[in-house]
Structure 1
């Protein structure tokens, strides 16, 4: 169809509109989360080493929580989100929502966070193998740009979690977790075309979406290449520090 864009740009204005119109969807997402067993976590934050992929509905739920936080905390978190997007190929930092071993959005954290520690060792190893395969392809893409990513980043793998204990609730096996993930995907897909755009254009990466709502996308990607190049060479980036000063709070 002429003029039809299957993967439209998701702007800050779009996020505000979606937050206003998806209240019932967010509530239903929490109902799905409620099907997970209650657990006790020792809070060693192994799962917080990276920001997990998510659906657009999970991203909205996180934004909804973040916009209720004090302005200073919100601004710091947005800056951390942008910094994470820029430097994650060159350095293992931590999830931008992590502050002193506490999650800023804990009650509204992603399915990837909630399911960590519930998968069987066999299924977790299967996911780890796929992650290693993707990282190998990722490394080749950067090599074509003349940048060799550090081995410690490419080889990094979150360890299998032994620090989550089920308290009570339905015993959840791998098949049940896969069904829950599918139910979340189906629920989020109601937010068409934004669900598809977030998955395909932003690679289900909330740090990419956040950064793209603050900077022009073409400029953003060029800056990322130069920032990663600086980081790999020197361990720091003046370009990153300068641009973090321009991060605005689109919830203020």
Structure 2
């Protein structure tokens, strides 16, 4: 009778662990997807009620309650989306789900979503768009990139204006998110793109995965994420994406 070698046992254990991790990630991805999708009509209904309440000049208490509800639902959707994207990145190959859409519409939706957060921070959010910018991208991944960059700009923007600029040429689209806040020290400019890392002196909460996740999702779509910053003078995060991702990356 042949006794299995320690090397064979180790290989078997590694394969079992890989299978277990893959099964875990698949379960988390399904759970995140199922938790996120039903929230879409709820978000729409909350926004509709809030718009009506403002139009009809409802009481300040009712308006505040609806705004807090909108914020809570947005945070829920954001967390579910982040979880979904992390499980996608944990796979050996990120599976892109490409659709053709106008990036201007997505930027407007993102700005609209964060208007209240900017107002609470004492800031304003401005869009500089040159529509249309049609292209083929992974919509969920691109939405997550914008969400992370805009929310960070508001969070670290020191209450000053935040702007989103969208430019394009026949081959590429460029989104720049600009704030005038605390900025990023030179020593932190590479580190903050790593998982679970945040800039030195950052007072805001979070797990430090937003920029790591954004950079990975940009790279998965054949793009580049760059940072220009000076401490005390703000930051500019620039996302450069090909207009047709399928022509730049291997799909499937």
The structure carrying a bigger strand percent of its residues is 2
* Structure index of larger Rg: 2
Q: Point out which structure has higher relative CO (alpha carbons under 8 A, 6+ apart).
A: 1
TM-score of the superposed pair, with normalisation by structure 1: 0.24
